[in-house]
């Protein structure tokens, strides 16, 4: 028997695409804190076009980007898509997930109906001029974050992806584990291993902001696997212990310092002296953990405005600060003297290539990289999960919600 709508968790016959589906939806009129912005609704299942795949979603990962979509800030994702000519006035987020291929569009050969897959979170136009001229697709002007900039992410019974977003799901991983880590692990992997010559080498000290967070928990392990010496920054001792258990050499509690935020003006001698004292004291904690006077060769950044001045000051001569986000704000000050005279690099990094996605799936499947699934919620708790993240009250590691999974 086929129907037009199935209850959450009820499976249509394999390959039958119902007309409607349940989804955790954000609408512009609800923009605000995540718990109020998300609402369970019934919407049309999107049409599958050439090169696309419809996936019956079993579980979805929770990421910070849909905290931003809830707020409608810094990007009103619905308005941005409408400016590009798309008609939907709602947003279905979810930038990673796991599920079963339910329908494939014309010209799709890499997956078939019934395949179990995990989904990566970036799309691009494979015919774009820059890609045809050799650009790495993840750097293309056409790249967009699926389930953030683009619609029909994994917070719905069916998700719409491009075929290259589907990766074989390791049979030994649960739906929830396969849904939770790809965004953070692949992003951290590109940050730490994708920007030669600033890749983690044996013995390299690596300072990791938000060590107990999604990115941080993956970064600590990746740095350790590569032979580096990860040092975590956290906001309490419990999170610090979590980082140590993952392989951090030690941790620094950022709440013991008060020099965070924008850099004082260079002409304000007194304020600058106070700021420098804070940054140096922080650096001494790094030395203490390492047992020698060495600076981090790489600083993994995402906290942004509050922390960039210190990260750039602290990183080693000819080292790098590699950044993929700006949780605390985007106006990050750089004292250029440290940048040029000490020949440092400030490197932007955004998500990962398909190859880099595969390079983190393999060690998770092999048991070397723990996906750090720390919280699993129901589909209806999608807004709650983002609210915890917004308030920085979420447990360490990565989170997921069950969508159709029992």
Ligand X SMILES: NC(=O)c1ccc[n+]([C@@H]2O[C@H](COP(=O)([O-])OP(=O)(O)OC[C@H]3O[C@@H](n4cnc5c(N)ncnc54)[C@H](OP(=O)(O)O)[C@@H]3O)[C@@H](O)[C@H]2O)c1
- Residues 60-89 close enough to bind ligand X by CB under 6 A: 63-65
Q: Which of 125, 121, 43 is nearest to 89 (CA)?
A: 43
377 binds ligand X per the rule CB under 6 A? no
Does position 183 interact with ligand X (CB under 6 A)? The reply is yes
Q: How far is the CB of 145 from ligand X (least distance, A)?
A: 7
Which of 157/191 has CB closer to ligand X? 191
| Number of residues this chain uses to bind ligand X (CB under 6 A) | 30
Instruction: Check binding of 356 to ligand X (CB under 6 A).
Output: no
Both tokens of 375, joined, read 């919280």
Round to whole Å and give the CA distance between 289 and 229: 10
CA 285 to CA 62: how far, in whole Å?
A: 32
Q: Using the rule CB under 6 A, is 209 a contact of ligand X?
A: yes
- Classify residue 169 by burial, with Cβ atoms within 10 Å: 0-12, 13-18, 19+: buried
Cβ-based nearer residue to ligand X, 18 or 250: 250
Q: Which stretch binds ligand X (CB under 6 A): 76-84, 152-160, 211-219, 333-341?
A: 211-219
Select 221 or 307, whichever has its Cβ closest to ligand X. Answer: 307
CA distance 7 to 375: 24
Q: Which residues between 23 and 62 bind ligand X (CB under 6 A)?
A: none
Considering only 120, 157, 327, 359, the residue that binds ligand X (CB under 6 A) is: 327
CB of 4 to ligand X, least distance (A): 36
Q: Does 324 bind ligand X (CB under 6 A)?
A: yes
Judged by CB under 6 A, the chain residues 117 through 146 that form the site for ligand X are: none
The yes or no reply on residue 263 touching ligand X (CB under 6 A) is no
The reply on whether position 234 binds ligand X by CB under 6 A is: yes
**99: three-class secondary structure by DSSP:** strand
Decide: is 390 part of the binding site for ligand X (CB under 6 A). no
- One of 235, 241, 347, 374 touching ligand X (CB under 6 A): 235
385 scored as a contact of ligand X (CB under 6 A) = no
Per the omega criterion (within 30 degrees of 0), is the bond before 249 cis? Answer: no
Can you spell out the DSSP letters for 323-390?
Answer: E---TT-S-----HHHHHHTT-EEEE--S--HHHHHHHHHHHHTTSS---EEEEE-GGGHHHHHHHHH
Give the whole-angstrom CA distance, residue 168 versus residue 120: 11
Contacting residue, 159, 215, 248, 405, with ligand X by CB under 6 A: 215
Give whichever of 10 and 238 is closer to ligand X, judged by the CB atom.
238
ω into residue 74 within 30 of 0, thus cis? yes
d(CA 67, CA 77): 12
| Residue whose structure tokens are 């708790």 | 381
Binding site for ligand X (CB under 6 A): 63-65, 183-184, 187, 209-210, 212-216, 233-235, 239, 254, 302-303, 306-307, 324-325, 327-328, 350-351, 389, 392
């Amino acid at each position: 028997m086929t129907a037009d709508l199935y209850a959450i968790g009820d499976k249509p016959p394999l390959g039958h695409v119902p007309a409607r589906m349940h989804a955790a939806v954000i609408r512009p009129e609800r923009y605000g804190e995540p718990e109020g912005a998300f609402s369970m609704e019934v919407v049309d299942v999107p049409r599958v076009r050439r090169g696309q795949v419809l996936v019956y979603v079993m579980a979805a990962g929770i990421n910070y980007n849909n905290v931003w979509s809830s707020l409608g800030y810094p990007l009103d994702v619905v308005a941005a898509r409408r400016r590009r000519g798309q008609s939907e006035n709602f947003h279905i987020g979810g930038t990673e997930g796991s599920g079963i291929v339910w329908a494939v569009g014309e010209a799709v050969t890499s997956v078939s109906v019934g395949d179990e897959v995990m989904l990566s979170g970036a799309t691009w136009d494979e015919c774009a001029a820059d890609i045809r001229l050799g650009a790495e697709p993840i750097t293309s002007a056409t790249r967009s974050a699926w389930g953030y900039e683009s619609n029909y992410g994994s917070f719905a019974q069916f998700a719409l992806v491009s075929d290259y977003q589907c990766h074989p799901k390791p049979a030994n991983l649960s739906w929830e584990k396969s849904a939770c880590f790809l965004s953070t692990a692949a992003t951290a992997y590109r940050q730490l291993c994708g920007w030669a010559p600033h890749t983690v080498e044996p013995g390299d000290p690596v300072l990791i902001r938000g060590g107990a967070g999604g990115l941080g928990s993956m970064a600590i392990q990746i740095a350790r696997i590569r032979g580096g010496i990860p040092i975590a920054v956290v906001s309490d001792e419990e999170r610090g212990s979590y980082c140590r258990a993952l392989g951090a050499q030690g941790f620094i509690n950022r709440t013991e310092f008060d020099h965070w935020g924008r850099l004082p003006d260079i002409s304000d001698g007194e304020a600058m002296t106070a700021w420098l004292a804070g940054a140096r004291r922080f650096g001494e904690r790094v030395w203490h953990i390492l047992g020698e006077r060495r600076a981090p060769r790489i600083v993994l950044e995402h906290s942004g405005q509050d922390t960039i001045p210190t990260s750039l000051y602290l990183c080693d001569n000819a080292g790098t600060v590699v950044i993929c986000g700006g949780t605390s704000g985007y106006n990050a000050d750089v004292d250029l003297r440290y940048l040029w005279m000490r020949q440092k690099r400030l490197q932007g990094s955004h998500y990962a290539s398909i190859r880099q996605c595969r390079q983190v799936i393999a060690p998770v499947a092999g048991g070397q990289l723990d996906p750090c699934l720390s919280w699993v919620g129901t589909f209806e708790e999608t807004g709650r999960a983002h609210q915890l993240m917004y308030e920085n009250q979420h447990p360490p590691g990565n989170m997921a919600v069950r969508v159709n999974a029992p």
